[in-house]
Amino acid sequence: MSRPRSFDTDEVIEQLCDYFWEHGYSAASLDDLAQQLGVKRGSLFNAFGSKEVLFNAAFERYEEKIRVAFDTPDQGMKAIAHYFHNAVEIATTKGMGRGCFLVNLLMSAEIPTPELQQAVELNVTFINKFFSEHLDRARLDGQLLETISILEGVDALFGAMIGVFALARMKATPLMIQEFVNNNFRGLFSTKHW
């Protein structure tokens, strides 16, 4: 008969999310994780099985958090501005010095499993679709500069998203991060009210 867990799995996953977000995959061993989480290595291994499973669980938790940044009743440029407002908020608080878990994965060679690779690709597709749909609306509303194609706009916004979190990882000031976003918007939108 197995013994009951001596820890709250949900709390452990939350702590794993923070740990892997900051340190990445290769910097962690099961011993390090157990010590950081305050649980026994065997208990951690019995609950999850491997470091890869722990990392996947942490990334899934992060996915839940970042999807909230995209929730908005707004359309077009306002929806994109809403996302970037949330992204700057995350970048200048929890992300300061850490960046974005997803962006960190995209910029590293630390995607340990095919399942995680697929999850990362699905997130990239989700983000690009969000940008594309709202750029289409911005075009209809006359807010997207005529010289910018939807594909160019998607690429520019995806690059701006990466830039926001790269700047956060470098511990840039909140003002610098916001101005980076503003400059990207100036290159895409005809209105100054975002």
Render 60-123 in DSSP notation, one character per residue. Answer: HHHHHHHHHHH--S--HHHHHHHHHHHHHHHHTTTTTTT--HHHHHHTSS---SHHHHHHHHHH
CATH topology of domain 1-59: Arc Repressor Mutant, subunit A (1.10.10)
Q: List the one residue out of 132, 182, 177 whose CA is nearest residue 152.
A: 132
The pLDDT of residue 1 is: 45
Q: Is the dihedral of CA 158, 159, 163, 166 positive or negative?
A: positive
According to CATH, what is the number of the domain 72-194? Answer: 1.10.357.10
Other beta carbons less than 10 A from residue 47's beta carbon: 17
pLDDT tier at 46 (50, 70, 90 boundaries)?
Answer: confident
18 vs 88, higher pLDDT: 88
The pLDDT of residue 163 is: 96
The pLDDT of residue 133 is: 98
Q: Is pLDDT above 90 for 175?
A: yes
Q: List the one residue out of 96, 92, 79 whose CA is nearest residue 138.
A: 79
Select the highest-mean-pLDDT range: 3-12, 63-72, 148-157. Answer: 148-157
Q: pLDDT tens digit string along 98-123?
A: 888 898 888 887 787 888 889 999 99
96 vs 62, higher pLDDT: 62
Q: Is pLDDT above 70 for 193?
A: no
Q: At what angle do helices 41-48 and 9-23 cross, to 10 degrees?
A: 100
Lowest mean pLDDT among 107-116, 143-152, 168-177: 107-116
pLDDT tier at 158 (50, 70, 90 boundaries)?
Answer: very high
Q: Is pLDDT above 50 for 54?
A: yes
pTM exceeds 0.75 for this model? yes
1 vs 115, higher pLDDT: 115
Sorted by where each begins, the domain ranges of the chain are 1-59, 72-194
The pLDDT of residue 66 is: 84
